Amino acid sequence: MTAPDTVQQVVIIGSGPAGLTAAIYAARANLEPLVVEGVVEGGPTGGQLTLTTDVENYPGFAEGVMGPELILQMRMQAERFGTSFVTEDIVKTNLDQRPFTLETASGGTIATHALIVATGAKPRRLEIPGEEELWGAGVSACATCDGFFFRDKHVVVVGGGDSAMEEAIFLTKFASKVTVVHRRDELRASQILQDRAFANERIEFVWNAVPTEVNGTDGQVSSLTLKDTRTGEVQDLPADGLFLAIGHIPNTWLFDGSLETDDDGYLVVEEPTTRTNVAGVFACGDVMDHTYRQAVTAAATGCKAAIDAERWLAAGGAEG
């Protein structure tokens, strides 16, 4: 670990809508923010939006916008006002001492007075037999990446939220049939996505069921063992692919023992601010929001975090 040459005013960990919006605001406040855009540990650089296609609910885009394009625009906007970027994962943080220090995967050290945590969340896995063994051989968490390989095949999507419906609808471009398996008898997804999924002739639903095993033949997914959540009855559902959309786990492991989390593992902030339990550390986006989890709410909390950090620095927080 090499010693840092300079101490940053504010460092932002994360490069999704929360982190990039924080960067735009911090840059415009002349704080010359440094964004550490992780590579893989917390999900892809640019966040979950980079794995989506059409984003139809982000205000300002009447005809919708592609997720990766939206992120690219935010990044360019942040860069225009003087944000710098480091494309690396952070592997360790020290928030016990001022300035805070962050260690990068290549062994570098970054020191900063204020820290904005915008590390987001990554897809939850089922943790059932066969899932790990058949990962990449029919099991996937990215329909936009892997849908292509399931042309004229039957795929299963597990989940009942917006992501599950978006994945199911997207997969009908390729698959001959998409079966949505959901543990309850109704969806959590927004009405417009539910309507679209129900109207799609290629989408079928299996209600009140949870997968208990992924089965393979010749190293590829061949079926899914399902258990009825009410009767306990077990059935085998033949399928060529399995796409997971069962929610996310917040990326907080870098802060174990230093930042407070709630029962679900999300960072706790002093509402309505973005202040964490460590003065000078602010949290925004999906790592602290288990209620809304939208691109626009992530951006909104990113804005709040930058303003909170700016005020904290202006009030002499870093000297205190």
Partner 1 sequence: MGATPVTDSAWTSEVLESDRPVLVDFWAEWCGPCRLVSPIVDEIANEHGEQLKVMKINVDENPGTAREYGVMSIPTLLVFKGGRPDKRIVGAKGKAALLKDLSDYLG
Residues that bind partner 1 (CB under 8 A): 39-41, 44-46, 50-51, 68, 88-89, 105-106, 135-138, 140, 142, 144-146, 148-150, 219-220, 241
Q: Measured from the CB of residue 44, what is the shortest distance to partner 1 in angstroms?
A: 5
> What whole-number distance in Å separates Cα of residue 201 and Cα of residue 133?
32
Of 174 and 266, the one with the shorter C-beta distance to partner 1 is: 174
Is residue 142 part of the annotated active site? The answer reads: yes
Tell me the backbone φ, ψ of residue 242, rounded to 5 degrees.
Answer: -135, 120
Q: Do residues 253 and 262 make contact, with C-beta atoms less than 8 angstroms apart? A: no
Of 36 and 313, the one with the shorter C-beta distance to partner 1 is: 36
Of 164 and 221, the one with the shorter C-beta distance to partner 1 is: 221
Helices (H), the chain: 17-28, 67-80, 143-146, 162-171, 191-199, 295-314
Choose among 239, 241, 232: nearest CA to 209: 232
- Residue type at position 62: A
> What whole-number distance in Å separates Cα of residue 8 and Cα of residue 31?
9
Which of 5, 54, 89, 142 is the catalytic position? 142
Q: Residue 92: beta bridge partners?
A: 103
Of 33 and 241, the one with the shorter C-beta distance to partner 1 is: 241
The tokens describing 11, both together, are: 């460092």
Q: Measured from the CB of residue 308, what is the shortest distance to partner 1 in angstroms?
A: 30
Q: Measured from the CB of residue 68, what is the shortest distance to partner 1 in angstroms?
A: 6
Which of 89, 146, 240, 286 is the catalytic position? 146
Residue 104: which H helix or E strand, with range? Answer: strand 100-104
Measured from the Cβ of residue 258, the count of other Cβ atoms closer than 10 Å reads 16
- Residue type at position 277: N
- Strands 177-181, 203-206: pairing kind: parallel
Q: Do residues 5 and 112 make contact, with C-beta atoms less than 8 angstroms apart? A: no
Q: Measured from the CB of residue 166, what is the shortest distance to partner 1 in angstroms?
A: 15
Q: Measured from the CB of residue 149, what is the shortest distance to partner 1 in angstroms?
A: 4
Which of 145, 185, 195, 236 is the catalytic position? 145
Is residue 256 part of the annotated active site? The answer reads: no
Is residue 146 part of the annotated active site? The answer reads: yes
Of 152 and 201, the one with the shorter C-beta distance to partner 1 is: 152
- Strands 203-206, 248-250: pairing kind: unpaired
Of 42 and 302, the one with the shorter C-beta distance to partner 1 is: 42
Handedness of CA 141, 142, 145, 150 (dihedral sign): positive
Q: Measured from the CB of residue 280, what is the shortest distance to partner 1 in angstroms?
A: 28
Q: Do residues 171 and 243 make contact, with C-beta atoms less than 8 angstroms apart? A: yes
The tokens describing 228, both together, are: 């009825």
Name the residues annotated as catalytic: 142, 145-146
